[in-house]
């Protein structure tokens, strides 16, 4: 019986080795990247980063940084921004979120028709209070609310995993440190108001009441006979794309 030539054996095993080496290098232990540039982000992540760029630009107004960051996402980023603005309009996203995207497109002079249509004419102030003017929980300790029967002690955004939580949750603590039922709460918005009382949701405790917000509306809250203590409340965008709400806590002042 004739044996195959040595060269043939060498070549056959060499090809098998190359295939095994490639399979190992590509599938089993691929080279880990030292770091990829933002233009390699997935479409979903790219949209989240565009929202982040818009929120950041709304806060600091740094046009150069915003342009650099958007360009870093690749040549399609401007088109994605315009698509997101259109998508937000149809989904009725909260106005701050949508306005920030429009503000970014406007600031970077992106000439899409929808941007021109939605751009705020110069000289007309925004209908939405600027986010920086809204007191945060940190500000509350520095500048206490106007004197009244109840003092706002906490104001935080909350999210509910996998669910929309577009509501205002209010907890009232009485003088004795216990939740207080039967306290009147009034919520105001552009063209309406609603009054209700704490204590009608037994599983949440006697000091609890909540109010479901509608997207696009901005709300203020007043407790009992006090003046409005919180303004500019609207649904917030959570990290998972769901809507978040506001959790407020009030304590009765010492008489």
Partner 1 sequence: MRWAAILGLVIGIGLGLLAGWVIWPVEYVDVTPDLLTADAQIDYALMVATAYEADGNLELARGRLARLGDSASVALLNAFTAAEDNQIALSGLQKLAAELELHATMPTPME
Shortest distance, position 254 Cβ to partner 1, whole Å:
28
Residue 31 half-sphere exposure, CB side, CA atoms within 13 Å? 6
Establish if 187 lies at the interface with partner 1 (CB under 8 A): no
Shortest distance, position 198 Cβ to partner 1, whole Å:
24
User: What are the residues whose beta carbons fall under 8 Å from the beta carbon of 239, sequence distance 6 or more?
Assistant: 159
Quick note: the x/- pattern for partner 1 over 111-150, rule CB under 8 A, is -------------------xxx-x-xxx------------
The burial of 244, by beta-carbon neighbours within 10 Å (0-12 exposed, 13-18 middle, 19 or more buried), is given as buried
SS3 state at 90: helix
State how far the Cα of 16 lies from the Cα of 169, in Å rounded to an integer.
66
Q: Which is nearer to partner 1, 33 or 202 (CB)?
A: 33
Shortest distance, position 10 Cβ to partner 1, whole Å:
4
Residue holding tokens 């497109």?
A: 105
Establish if 48 lies at the interface with partner 1 (CB under 8 A): yes
Shortest distance, position 231 Cβ to partner 1, whole Å:
14
Among 114, 157, 173, 231, binds partner 1 (CB under 8 A): 157
Among 1, 42, 141, 191, binds partner 1 (CB under 8 A): 42
Tokens of 77: 């980023």
**Nearest partner of 211 among 232, 193, 224, 190, judged by Cα:** 193
Quick note: the x/- pattern for partner 1 over 65-104, rule CB under 8 A, is ----x--x-----------------------x--------
**Nearest partner of 50 among 25, 22, 74, judged by Cα:** 74
Tokens of 202: 């037994």
Output the CA–CA distances (angstroms, integers) from residue 69 to 16, 65, 115, 160, in the order listed: 46, 6, 19, 30
**Nearest partner of 232 among 130, 106, 117, 108, judged by Cα:** 130
Segment near partner 1 (CB under 8 A); pick from 34-42, 175-183, 198-206, 207-215:
34-42
Residues 188-247 that bind partner 1 (CB under 8 A): 236-240, 244
Q: Which is nearer to partner 1, 109 or 130 (CB)?
A: 130
> Which chain residues interact with partner 1 by CB under 8 A?
3, 6-7, 9-26, 30-31, 33-38, 40-43, 45, 48-49, 52-53, 55-56, 58-60, 62, 69, 72, 96, 130-132, 134, 136-138, 156-159, 236-240, 244
């Amino acid at each position: 019986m004739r044996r195959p030539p040595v060269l043939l054996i060498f070549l056959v095993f060499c090809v098998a080795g190359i295939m095994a080496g490639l399979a190992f290098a590509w599938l089993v232990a691929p080279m880990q990247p030292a770091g990829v540039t933002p233009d390699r982000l997935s479409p979903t992540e790219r949209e989240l980063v565009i929202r982040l760029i818009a929120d950041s630009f709304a806060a600091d107004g740094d046009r150069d940084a915003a342009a650099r960051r958007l360009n870093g996402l690749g040549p399609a980023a401007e088109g994605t921004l315009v698509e997101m603005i259109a998508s937000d309009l149809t989904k009725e996203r909260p106005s701050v979120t949508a306005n920030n995207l429009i503000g970014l497109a406007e600031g970077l002079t992106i000439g899409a028709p929808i941007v021109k249509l939605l751009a705020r004419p110069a000289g007309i102030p925004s209908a939405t209070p600027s986010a920086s003017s809204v007191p945060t929980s940190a500000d509350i300790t520095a500048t206490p609310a106007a004197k009244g029967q109840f003092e706002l002690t906490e104001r935080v955004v909350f999210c509910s995993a996998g669910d929309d939580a577009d509501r205002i949750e209010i907890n009232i603590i009485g003088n004795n440190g216990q939740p207080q039922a039967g306290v009147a709460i009034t919520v105001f918005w552009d063209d309406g108001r609603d009054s209700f009382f704490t204590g009608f949701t037994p599983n949440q405790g006697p000091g609890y009441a909540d109010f479901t917000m509608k997207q696009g509306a901005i709300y203020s809250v007043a407790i009992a006979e006090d003046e409005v203590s919180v303004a500019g409340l609207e649904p917030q965008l959570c990290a998972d794309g769901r809507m978040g709400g506001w959790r407020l806590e009030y304590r009765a002042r010492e008489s």
